[in-house]
Structure 1
């Protein structure tokens, strides 16, 4: 028995040699925004697509540790960075790094068994860590990120606002929302950020602070003045001729809010390789066993934030061979173990993907876990809902997910269908995963913010105003050197 670990280690070593021999470093492709000079993001990333000697893409699961990522300053400057290479288990890897207190030129080495891959080393100019303040013109930054000129949801949201009367927006917004809700009045002027918040619970202002601080370090936003809803529920219910332009993280079919990527999705992007372990890339490397080996049950874990979640737990008690659903915390409803089963402990999100079918059920509003479920290697069953996030328009029922009635009355039937039509279910899952991995990436999230702010700014009826009652959201001091010449601002400079 004592020799088993040694034997296993030997076989793993042999497998690594076999896998490594299949890769041709000259044919392997490295691509992504991390190789574009001006595409500065909190974390830079590239995709490594393994190819063999015949130039054929390798789609099988290769070994962990197959590629190595190293960073080097071209001027001898110290490079502090978190580096990681993720194995996506399909021949593709994501190499990513987060810089700290670094601004300048960088050499990126991507190697396989000591040999440079593709065109490595890559020479990058004017690369900056996320804390570095070195904004560039918006047009140049969005071009580097290859931002689309428009997003369908932004176009839909702004149909209701031909022009935005800022004075009317502020006065009516305070009248309409301040008594029962929490929101902030933000101004971005000359790339400086100011805000005044209203309401009792304003802690979530930190999420908009974080997004704007990160963006304005990288680019120069147009002058904008807007309101941001700090709660989960969309607020602006009309009437249509009296609506106030209000940004929210969630929209609904019954409201007129202008939707931005959720604070959850943005925070996981801003804190990638930092204070979070769950992000759009980490999921891709932790999608559980192969499709054929996954448990063929509908899976759900979550708190009791909606009646349908309790109904789902009850369904699981009655049909444990089809559904594995349980409540992790009771906040809104009375616990009833006989009816809904025992309260269970939280499990790691990556363990969700041991199951083939993921059940996306609304919480207080849209379930903000959907981006991560779509990115993983499982088929999503999505409850019909009035709520939506910024990307929902891009996904279609029966093409990217299995639609389920709001009251879940057809869920068991739909799961049975998926079991009996595995090839079709797999095709649907692959289509969803492919699209999610293309449009929910950090570059696309930052592009969405940039386009939304441009669209908004183009509709303003007057120059923005910084109120005396506003607080400035300031950038922290850093040790980065910016290559761009910038005017030294006076403390008394007129805004």
Structure 2
């Protein structure tokens, strides 16, 4: 080996191998793609995909085995520092895989090797990420918003952002008027009040139940680390219920859940936000892990509608009664009583929680509202089961992109046609499976972490344009500190 006077870092190499007697050799022409193979898109967990190709040049449509390839992540020239990385492979059982990894430091160079079982490189491997490969806690925002959007491959338009902001674009608003007006209109509300000035985030809360500020605070800081945010003030509703009604005097309240009867501007739910930030961390359910745990193949799933949950809506109780009367069609039970009195004779005894991944042993997933929209829908779509969704005025940030009978099967709010719809799916298995696949494809494209960041950035960008005055730091606000240790150009900090 030639010595160029550079210190070679191979201090830590990650290998993922699992034994599988059914492993098939994949072709060197297998396809690799995704944001984790380049340095431009900074995410809490970087990820990329592999489409396995056979030696005959055809895409695998079933899994060739999780150990049909190996991933190595290692460093380049540095000061003999160890690379700390959490690497994980997910088999989507359709010939494709997700490879995800979380860095815990920033590195000047990163090598990603993807090799066949005989050690030969797959696709365009090896990949070399150069020039400060940053981790999630690194405060090095991209100053050029358009460049960041390009690097993240963000959609040009976000349907829900346009729907939410259309009515407000006709007004000329001032933060000095809007902020106190919202607080006066909703005196019992619980809000996190933010001011973003020079990409520094300041926060104060209003109300007595503000524990969920941990989610809004985390995403505000994470966004500011990635891209320069517009100067703005915003009030994020910390409760589940949307607040503002439609009227000529509607105010721009930001919420996690929307309603056809409300004018709130909708962000991704706190559940999706947390799973995006904490993948390979403190959460066990996220949009990537669910794709690697979709249960048996479609033909081997149980042909019943499945549901578990608490008693947060009357229709949930009604559904359990329906399921007990139709055990050949449904497996449904309550896991907790909180809103209604328990009645074992009518509803059966409450049951223990089971792993969300075990839901996908069943072909049909029944999605019924909770207090508002049921926040499990993104994960149900990401599995390999058919979603039946209750008609509802409530929605998450992506609902208006979904099409009934294309991505899911709708049923009446009062459940009156649910038995009929499930029976249709049983009698039309091929069509039902195709709808399930369509829903899964939507989730894989639109609900992955990179697209969540794109959506949030677009909300902030368009929201800030609504106002004509400059935001200010209010008395009582505290500066939210970003992590202090980060290796990036000082030029960025000088500009902020």
The TM-score by the shorter chain falls in which range?
Answer: over 0.9
2:58 maps to 56
Does residue 469 of structure 1 match 2:461? no
Who is 2:101 aligned against?
97
- 1:169 counterpart residue number: 178
Following superposition, the deviation at residue 341 of structure 1 comes to 1.2
Where do 1:275-290 residues align within 5 Å? 275-290=282-297
Partner deviation per Cα, 1:62-117 (whole Å, 9 max, x = no partner): 21222222222222342111001111111111111000022432111122222221
DSSP 3-state at the match of 2:422: helix
The answer to whether residue 124 in structure 2 is matched with residue 122 in structure 1 is no
* CA distance in structure 2 between the aligned counterparts of 1:50 and 1:483, rounded to whole angstroms: 39
What's the secondary structure of 1:284's corresponding residue?
helix
Equivalents in 1 of 2:69, 2:225: separation in Å? 31
Q: Aligned to 2:406, what secondary structure does the other structure show?
A: coil
- Where do residues 73-472 of structure 1 align in structure 2 (5 Å cutoff)? 73-76=75-78, 77-113=81-117, 114-125=119-130, 126-137=132-143, 138-162=145-169, 163-177=172-186, 179-238=187-246, 240-472=247-479
The TM-score, its normalising length taken from structure 1, stands at: 0.93
User: How far, CA to CA, are the matches of 1:135 and 1:75 in structure 2?
Assistant: 25
Q: CA deviation at 1:432?
A: 1.0
2: CA distance, partners of 1:205 / 1:99: 26
Are the counterparts in 1 of residues 49 and 99 from structure 2 also a CA contact under 8 Å?
yes
Alpha-carbon distance in 2 for matches of 1:426, 1:453: 38
- Native 8 Å contact 1:104 1:481 kept in 2: no
| Alignment check: 8 A CA contact 2:335 2:351 kept | yes
Cα–Cα, structure 1 residues 424 and 166, in superposed 2: closer, same or farther, change >3 Å?
A: same
Q: 1:469 deviation in Å?
A: 1.6
Contact 1:164-1:245 at 8 Å conserved across structures: no
| C-alpha contact 1:49 1:57 (8 A) present in aligned 2 | yes
CA distance in 2, matches of 1:103, 1:219: 19
**In structure 1, what is the Cα distance between the partners aligned to 2:368 and 2:241?**
16
Residue segments in structure 1 that go unaligned for 5+ positions in a row: 1-11
In 2, Cα distance between equivalents of 1:408 and 1:196: 42
Shift of 1:35: 1.8
Distance 1:107 1:414, change over 3 A: same
Q: Cα–Cα, structure 1 residues 464 and 103, in superposed 2: closer, same or farther, change >3 Å? A: farther
Q: Distance in 1 between matches of 2:439 and 2:422?
A: 17
Shift in Å at residue 149 of structure 1?
Answer: 2.2
Contact 2:323 2:332 in 1 (8 A): yes
Contact 1:184 1:195 in 2 (8 A): yes
Structure 2 unaligned regions, length at least 5: 1-18
Deviation at 1:55, TM superposition (A): 2.2
- CA contact under 8 A between 2:407 and 2:438: conserved in structure 1? yes
Partner of 2:47: 45
What is the distance in 1 between the residues matched to 2:460 and 2:35? 22
Counterpart in the other structure of 1:67: 69
- TM-superposition CA deviations, 1:445-495 (whole Å, max 9, x none): 0000111111011121111111132111111222x3103523459xxx9xx
Query: Is the contact between residue 80 and residue 102 of structure 1 (CA under 8 Å) also seen in structure 2?
Result: no
Give TM-score scaled by structure 2 length. Answer: 0.93
Q: What's the offset of the Cα at 1:33?
A: 1.1
Instruction: Give aligned pairs, total.
Output: 471
Superposed CA RMSD: 1.4
Contact 1:68 1:85 in 2 (8 A): no
